[in-house]
Chains A and B, each alone.
Chain A
């Protein structure tokens, strides 16, 4: 069985793991020093490209490629915006890194800044993570004190990096890259029209690189241990490690740092299994399509694997559900979340989330009508691909997959007003509203 490969998570269970001393003792800031002093910016980008590092935030976009989109010869200021607004239900890997290993993010940010020629970094952290905010602010202060932030870092003339921790205030949509930029700019977290993409016109209208904090946190290790080491994990197209957030019906929930390509079964077993038979799994955060168990046990968790199975890797947040889970109830829970978190900018998402949650609530209360399922699918269909950001997909895909895979449960609910799963109780009715 695959054993966890502890890289980011090696020291996180120690006390004071978030201090710079602990980080330096683990060899911190050496990789960045080496990369920044010994490599040219183009070489750094090339190195990242060759490593095959892809974004760990959800979309899986190749990091090196993203950096190379930023215009080189521009006198406009460029920004690095780090996305720590982790709000996808089921995901908690960023929280762990930001709270307990924050200096890896700062060190990675230094490499990114050196590569793209950036001197200002904003790290956007969720408003609901006060501890992470305090730790990051502390870490930034320590880094300034030790000269890892500020002017002429590593003694390189003109290599100045300023980093500011920007605290959000409770909006899932700020996890979307342009929504996050709007929020940093001090506005409502409305995603922006694309094109122009952030790499050309992002924060304050300037070229901006947006990366997930974990993506950035891996950079020091890739530079420190080399492309060979990194590529020894995972597959050709999806190399490297991934912190999987495993939650739901397993004995030992938590972040498991494993190579890309482990199967869902391996993850389940690593996490201690569960006493009851399993029914379904969400492989990549709540907005990815649900997969039916046991059909999906052997899906490899790479960027391509879940996609072939009809879902996506997303943020690698794996939520297991056992047979007692009522899928109508589960969908209602998720849709309520999306209804609450839709920014309301585009019509299909603003109206579609509200409408679908009303229908599913009605079904869960036993008042479903024939035709409701078709209407639900119609809503998803009408919304997906028709909004500014991918939020429509985020609430459309669950609708499509829950209804497609567990249509019998929905139909039974509509027919009898009750749930068919063994031992499950319709609970949404009690929580309506």
Chain B
């Protein structure tokens, strides 16, 4: 029932194969939704309306249900996010060991507040809720890369790796 303006998408053959393989791993197709969304995220860079429509079609559920699931989880990259998403942990154990200073430094460097996207669309800065790395606080993640004991001095070098 989504609008007709949405362009149809298709998975690449490899992704399609991975999806088929996943379907065999679960007794019900619906269970493949979360892994499938990861595939779509990888294939198309983010999960947008068209991506959700594709997932709905592949799983055989309504697009609304896919939206419901996608919006429940915070970690999927959405079309409103930047090219890279910086997750900086701010929960108590990190906050005790300098997460605030790191967050402030990041906000200054990128010129955005937490929850916003930089003007050039390169980064989104988000507060993470505990990255389970309290022993190496302050820590942050940029997409799938984890950084421990981050200091303000390292930030320039780290950010420069993401173009």
Direct contact between A and B judged by beta carbons closer than 8 A? yes
A340 partner, pick from B38, B76, B87, B129, beta carbons under 8 A: B129
Which stretch of B117-125, B130-138, B153-161 is in the interface?
Answer: B130-138
Residue pair B30, A185 in contact (C-beta under 8 Å): yes
Residue pair B72, A77 in contact (C-beta under 8 Å): no
Residue pair B130, A167 in contact (C-beta under 8 Å): no
With A168-B73, A170-B73, A333-B90: A186-B132 Cβ-Cβ less than 8 Å: no
Residue pair B95, A333 in contact (C-beta under 8 Å): yes
**CB of B150 within 8 A of chain A?**
no
Residue pair B92, A253 in contact (C-beta under 8 Å): no
Which stretch of A83-91, A353-361, A388-396 is in the interface?
Answer: A83-91
With A87-B130, A340-B129: A187-B30 Cβ-Cβ less than 8 Å: yes
CB distance from A190 to the nearest CB of B (A): 9
CA gap between A282 and B141 in the complex, in Å: 25
CB distance from A270 to the nearest CB of B (A): 13
Residue pair B95, A95 in contact (C-beta under 8 Å): no
Residue pair A330, B129 in contact (C-beta under 8 Å): no
**CB of A199 within 8 A of chain B?**
no
Minimal Cβ-Cβ distance residue in B for A331: B92
Residues on B with C-beta less than 8 A from A128 are 75, 87, 128, 131-132, 141
CB distance from B21 to the nearest CB of A (A): 10
B72 partner, pick from A131, A167, A188, beta carbons under 8 A: A188
CA gap between A204 and B135 in the complex, in Å: 37
Residue pair B34, A247 in contact (C-beta under 8 Å): no
Beyond the given A92-B133, A130-B144, A188-B68, please list 7 additional residue pairs across the A-B interface where CB-CB is below 8 A: A89-B129, A168-B73, A169-B74, A186-B30, A317-B134, A333-B95, A427-B100
Residues on A with C-beta less than 8 A from B75 are 127-128, 168-170
Residue pair A167, B34 in contact (C-beta under 8 Å): yes
Minimal Cβ-Cβ distance residue in A for B41: A169
Residues on A with C-beta less than 8 A from B68 are 188
**CB of A177 within 8 A of chain B?**
no
Residues on B with C-beta less than 8 A from A340 are 129
Minimal Cβ-Cβ distance residue in A for B27: A204
With A169-B34, A185-B30: A249-B96 Cβ-Cβ less than 8 Å: yes
Range for the number of chain B residues in contact with chain A? 35 or more
CB distance from A308 to the nearest CB of B (A): 24
**CB of A207 within 8 A of chain B?**
no
CA gap between A427 and B93 in the complex, in Å: 15
Minimal Cβ-Cβ distance residue in B for A247: B134
With A186-B59, A247-B93, A333-B92: A92-B135 Cβ-Cβ less than 8 Å: yes
B34 partner, pick from A172, A186, A204, A255, beta carbons under 8 A: A186
**Contact flags B59-85 to A (C-beta < 8 A → 1, else 0):** 100000000110011111000000000
Chain A interface residues (CB < 8 Å from chain B): 77, 86-92, 94-95, 120, 126-131, 162, 164, 166-172, 183-189, 204, 245-249, 253-255, 282, 286, 317, 319, 321, 325, 330, 333-334, 337, 340-341, 343, 427, 431
Q: Which of B73, B91, B128, B135 has the most CB of A within 10 A?
A: B135
CB distance from B95 to the nearest CB of A (A): 5
CB distance from B42 to the nearest CB of A (A): 12
Residue pair A186, B33 in contact (C-beta under 8 Å): yes
CB distance from B147 to the nearest CB of A (A): 12
A171 partner, pick from B28, B59, B72, B96, beta carbons under 8 A: B72
**CB of B32 within 8 A of chain A?**
yes
Q: Which of B30, B32, B95 has the most CB of A within 10 A?
A: B95
Residue pair A167, B35 in contact (C-beta under 8 Å): yes
A337 partner, pick from B92, B131, B132, beta carbons under 8 A: B92
Residue pair B74, A171 in contact (C-beta under 8 Å): yes
With A90-B134, A167-B38, A169-B37: A77-B129 Cβ-Cβ less than 8 Å: no
Residues on A with C-beta less than 8 A from B129 are 87, 89, 172, 337, 340-341
Residue pair B100, A431 in contact (C-beta under 8 Å): yes
- Offer 6 A-B interface pairs, CB within 8 angstroms, sorted by A: A183-B34, A185-B31, A186-B30, A186-B33, A253-B136, A431-B100
CA gap between A184 and B22 in the complex, in Å: 12
With A88-B130, A90-B92, A130-B144: A246-B34 Cβ-Cβ less than 8 Å: no
CA gap between A189 and B70 in the complex, in Å: 11
Residue pair B34, A321 in contact (C-beta under 8 Å): no
Minimal Cβ-Cβ distance residue in B for A129: B132
B132 partner, pick from A94, A254, A319, beta carbons under 8 A: A94
CB distance from A322 to the nearest CB of B (A): 8
Residue pair B26, A164 in contact (C-beta under 8 Å): yes
With A333-B95, A334-B92: A127-B134 Cβ-Cβ less than 8 Å: no
Minimal Cβ-Cβ distance residue in B for A320: B96
- Give 8 nearest A-B pairs by CB, closest first: A170-B75, A169-B73, A186-B33, A247-B134, A130-B144, A253-B135, A127-B75, A170-B74
CA gap between A286 and B73 in the complex, in Å: 21
Minimal Cβ-Cβ distance residue in A for B32: A186
Residue pair A86, B76 in contact (C-beta under 8 Å): no
Residue pair A253, B134 in contact (C-beta under 8 Å): yes
Residue pair B93, A90 in contact (C-beta under 8 Å): yes
With A169-B73, A183-B34: A95-B90 Cβ-Cβ less than 8 Å: no
**Contact flags B14-36 to A (C-beta < 8 A → 1, else 0):** 00000000000111101111110
A89 partner, pick from B59, B69, B76, B134, beta carbons under 8 A: B134
CB distance from A6 to the nearest CB of B (A): 16
